[in-house]
Structure 1
């Protein structure tokens, strides 16, 4: 009987081909013969098992790496498009959303509106409670903003304490109503950790027009926001084209001021402070002026705000201090030798918070040989409302050295009586608004009497600003106010003119 043909070699060849083509699940069953061919079949099957296991492991690793890459991509996208602190959109994503809304407007939809918000008082929170509390405040502000907009709108944090909203498919009245709701909501206290923080928001609104790009729209909203800040803080301002011209003018003025400080275009004028009992001039206030090469003599109100916004106020304040102290030294070396006399110099809150501020003041006095007791540093009450540890430390250092500290424009802030309790104060300068009408209005007389009584109760000296008539001066004297300042005794004068007046005063009132 003939032996059937053995086709195992052909089957084995087919198995190798299948495995080579990628079918790692292919297998071949050995025959009962259990000979050398079957041994090869078993070996190939074992190799196939290893290949299949290896292939499965590789596929699992590829899947895992793919998931990791996708997650990394999402994380990078989030970092690129979202603010890591608040989870809000960032400036990049905001620009994309504005561009998308403008593209829809080009196809017939209503153009979007952009609201830009800047928190008023945020720096005081950071300075008083620290940056962790400030971060919690920003997160809570972001949450409130998200709750007040629709799902179709975008809320973004641009950095620092600036937020922006893109409002789509809404009319002007709807947008302004939303801005007002936000303004009111942000006036409520915010709980940041264990601290209750009070801030407000200055809001600029810009309604887009077709064809406008995202950068221009944001710029105009920012311009409107600064108009709100420079006006009544915590208000809403709608962008108008004239605002851009004003903003550009401020930029140019800042550049001119930078040159003016370096090129000695600034001047100091001096206004007398007079003892109401004796009529003797006991001090002067140094008031900066700017001899602009094209615009003529500029008063502080025309450029100090620009200096504060651009960071130039520190250089400006230091220049005024050096000039005033040098002038005082010159007077002291001559006709004012032995006389009671003080130089009043205004200090911005920015300068007050700079490192080594107190040391710089003391070095300036030492350089010119002026005793610390001859200097009075003035700061407005509203600027002291955000006092921080650095400010208080500087004030304490100044007081310890013998330099007096005065609150300027007293009566125009929010916490006047509370500030009179502070241990760093020596002088209270009563704002002119409380002096106007003192000689004709009985109500104003009673208000002035009450304020002077409070100042006296805290053991402080009072200087009445804005005194214009002899009757006002006499009523202030009768109420116990010791010093006055105002047009009654003359306008602020350059050093030469003030020197002439002081020579006469010194001669009439010898030490």
Structure 2
């Protein structure tokens, strides 16, 4: 029988120390995990910058310090110029590389205690604790300078400028308030040519709020039939016969009365409401033409309807379908509608514009360049675009009878239009002498107060019923 090996006892103190070390290690791991979790929750995954929550936390701390007597914080909002188009052309991988490079450059341009964050997409924010406006402006300009050099993408390099808005915090500001006002300043920068720093101006906020109010009221006006169309005749100069009428929108505001289009069309264009407004004009004008065609008194006058189409319409894939549907609903032939397009709307000559114009041309509607000569006046594009008519701007007619050489100049313009295979419509005719002078050089059509001012539907219908030649 062999001897049993004695069991070696471990002192209780040693076991406790080992357990304590184990527990301490677990606590350190847990602490590290929580730290990393908090860090990840405050970090933008792509750039390694802080995220929106990090900005919120830093802003609250800076505002608390300001409440205790420190200088208020400032916020720089940085938005890259033309990044969407760049992303579409360069691809996602390259655009991510651009964002990472931009993040590094912004961080290199700011001070050690400034908080650089990425809010999403191509928008960055820099919180500058306890910083007066002049110092914040200097930091913003350093950021713009840091973004100036090209970014190397391997196969090529690109320049990615930015627009910067600056707002210094007020005691009442929340993070949403200061972000909104910095954003207004940044939009001002973009509107003034980009790659600039703009400081928030309270008047900008007032204008923005006013614009939002007008947009809301205009949207309601479209739904509540507050908009009305006025009609102005386009006349054949040799006979006085009406060959078309232009539909011109007015806003019959319940408080401010009749508002002219130059007061609300630019806002509609700037805010994207122009498409909805344009569809209303299209449907209403085509419906009115159908009524005139069906009315026993006006049915014999076979003239076209002219409406204005915007640059946004040419950029819309649905616009051609909307035109086709409006005509089909009223059982009208496509050539009974003429779309007037400004030079600025068609001169861009991008792929979508060309597609829309070609599709409208194939549909059979008339296409007319409006206000010709007021903008680019390039004769070269007249031969390339699928348009039928040119409406010559009124500035050329107003000097008829004052300058002896003006009629010869207009004859040269008319010759160019005719040589391009187009018809010319001359705007701004106010006297019989102007109408006769234009007719004498071969101008076919005219529009202006001499033939008639824009009138609401009832008054224009009354004129149609009694006039065979214009003016009466």
- 1:260 correspondence with 2:221: yes
Distance in structure 1 (CA, Å) of the matches to 2:269 and 2:219: 12
- 1:402 is displaced (CA, Å) by 0.4
Q: How many residue pairs get matched?
A: 464
- 1:267 is displaced (CA, Å) by 0.8
Query: In the alignment, what sits opposite 2:277?
Result: 316
From 344, 348, 361, the counterpart of 1:382: 344
Specify the SS of the correspondent of 2:204: helix
Equivalence map 1:290-301=2 (5 Å) = 290-301=251-262
From 173, 193, 199, the counterpart of 1:212: 173
- 1:350 is displaced (CA, Å) by 3.7
Contact 2:72/2:132 (CA < 8 Å) preserved in 1? no
Distance in structure 1 (CA, Å) of the matches to 2:445 and 2:290: 23
Query: In the alignment, what sits opposite 1:282?
Result: 243
- 1:248 correspondence with 2:209: yes
Moved more, 375-384 or 359-368: 375-384
Query: In the alignment, what sits opposite 2:463?
Result: 501
- 1:364 correspondence with 2:326: yes
Contact 2:49/2:103 (CA < 8 Å) preserved in 1? no
Specify the SS of the correspondent of 1:508: coil
The change in CA–CA distance for 1:81 and 1:328 in structure 2 (over 3 A counts) is: farther
TM-score for both structures, normalised by structure 2: 0.74
Query: In the alignment, what sits opposite 1:73?
Result: 37
Distance in structure 1 (CA, Å) of the matches to 2:247 and 2:93: 39
Query: In the alignment, what sits opposite 1:29?
Result: none
- 1:150 correspondence with 2:110: yes
TM-score for both structures, normalised by structure 1: 0.69
Specify the SS of the correspondent of 1:219: helix
Query: In the alignment, what sits opposite 1:332?
Result: 293
Question: Tell me, which stretches of 5 or more residues in structure 1 are unaligned?
Answer: 1-5, 25-54
Specify the SS of the correspondent of 1:264: coil
Equivalence map 1:56-455=2 (5 Å) = 69=33, 73=37, 76-77=40-41, 80-82=42-44, 84=46, 90-106=51-67, 110-116=71-77, 129=89, 132=92, 135=95, 139=99, 142=102, 146=106, 149-151=109-111, 158-159=119-120, 164-166=125-127, 172=133, 204-226=165-187, 234=194, 238-308=199-269, 311-334=272-295, 337=299, 341-384=303-346, 389-411=351-373, 416=378, 419-420=381-382, 422-432=384-394, 437=399, 440=402, 455=417
Query: In the alignment, what sits opposite 2:423?
Result: 461
- 1:372 is displaced (CA, Å) by 0.4
Distance in structure 1 (CA, Å) of the matches to 2:136 and 2:363: 55
- 1:328 is displaced (CA, Å) by 1.1
Moved more, 269-278 or 470-479: 470-479
Larger Rg: 1
Query: In the alignment, what sits opposite 1:34?
Result: none
Distance in structure 2 (CA, Å) of the matches to 1:238 and 1:159: 22
Question: Tell me, which stretches of 5 or more residues in structure 2 are unaligned?
Answer: none
Distance in structure 2 (CA, Å) of the matches to 1:281 and 1:228: 48
- 1:400 is displaced (CA, Å) by 0.6
Moved more, 236-245 or 254-263: 236-245
- 1:198 is displaced (CA, Å) by 9.8
Specify the SS of the correspondent of 2:8: helix
